[in-house]
Every structure is written in C-alpha cells, then in structure tokens.
C-alpha cells in the first residue's frame, strides 16, 4: 500500500479499541473503521460497499469483519469481500507512534461534476 504522499492522522490512543472490535473515526471528511485484533490494528472504509452500513460496528474474527446489516464479510488485509474478492472496500495504512494510532487516508477523487472535472467555463464578459 503506497502512503508516500498521504499524511498520517492521529485517531486514537493505543488501547482505546477493545480486542475484536472496531471504532469509527472521521479523517479528511471520510469515515474510517479501525479494528484491533489483539496484536495489531487495521483500517478499512467504514461504509459497507453493499448498502452503506457501518463496518466499524461489526465483529472482527479471523481477520475478517462481518457487516452488521447483511453479514457480508470483508478481509481487513485487503478489503476484499470474502464471497467475491473482486468487490473490495478500501483499506488504509495504520501505524502506532508513541502510543497513538495513526491512519493514512487519501482524499476522495472529486465526483463527476466536481470542481476538477469537465471543461472550465469562464464567466460571460460584461455587457457594454
């Protein structure tokens, strides 16, 4: 996972997330689920790609989180849906520095019609 250009953001203190659980944090306008398996942390997009449930409220077992709404399971290592790995939730780099948990979350690409898409339009010149 490339994080060279992505700054890390502190989200919690090590120990704030119980073993086998996740917590949701807002980072750069995005919701990120951070899980602790007892030995390390993992971060995944909190919005389930199925219908948007909060993955952070699902249980973590054997490296997979189960969505609380329809029980789809996602691997925290790469975000893949266990039933069809072609579908993935985005995962993020996590590190612990001086007792704090930090995640590297890229900003989302602008949606269609966003400020950087399509031709630029200049305002009409003033009428004489």
In the complex, the residues that contact ligand FES under the rule CB under 6 A are 48, 50-53, 67, 69-70, 72
| SS3 of residue 56 by DSSP | helix
Task: Report the distance separating Cα 100 and Cα 77, nearest Å.
Answer: 21
We find the least distance from the C-beta atom of residue 57 to ligand FES, in angstroms, to be 11
| SS3 of residue 117 by DSSP | coil
| SS3 of residue 19 by DSSP | coil
Between 4 and 83, name the residue whose CB sits nearer to ligand FES.
Answer: 83
We find the least distance from the C-beta atom of residue 114 to ligand FES, in angstroms, to be 26
Between 42 and 48, name the residue whose CB sits nearer to ligand FES.
Answer: 48
We find the least distance from the C-beta atom of residue 83 to ligand FES, in angstroms, to be 10
- Assigned token pair, 68: 């609380």
């Amino acid at each position: 996972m490339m994080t060279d250009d992505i700054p890390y953001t502190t989200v919690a203190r090590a120990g704030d997330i119980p073993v086998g659980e996740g917590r949701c944090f807002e980072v750069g306008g995005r919701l990120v689920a951070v899980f602790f398996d007892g030995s390390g942390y993992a971060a995944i997009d909190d919005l389930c790609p199925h219908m948007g449930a909060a993955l952070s409220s699902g249980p973590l077992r054997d490296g997979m989180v189960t969505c609380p709404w329809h029980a789809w399971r996602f691997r925290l290592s790469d975000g893949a849906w266990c039933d069809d790995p072609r579908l993935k939730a985005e995962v993020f780099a996590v590190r612990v520095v001086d007792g704090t948990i930090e995640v590297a979350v890229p900003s989302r690409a602008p949606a269609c019609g966003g400020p950087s898409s399509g031709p630029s339009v200049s305002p009409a010149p003033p009428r004489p």
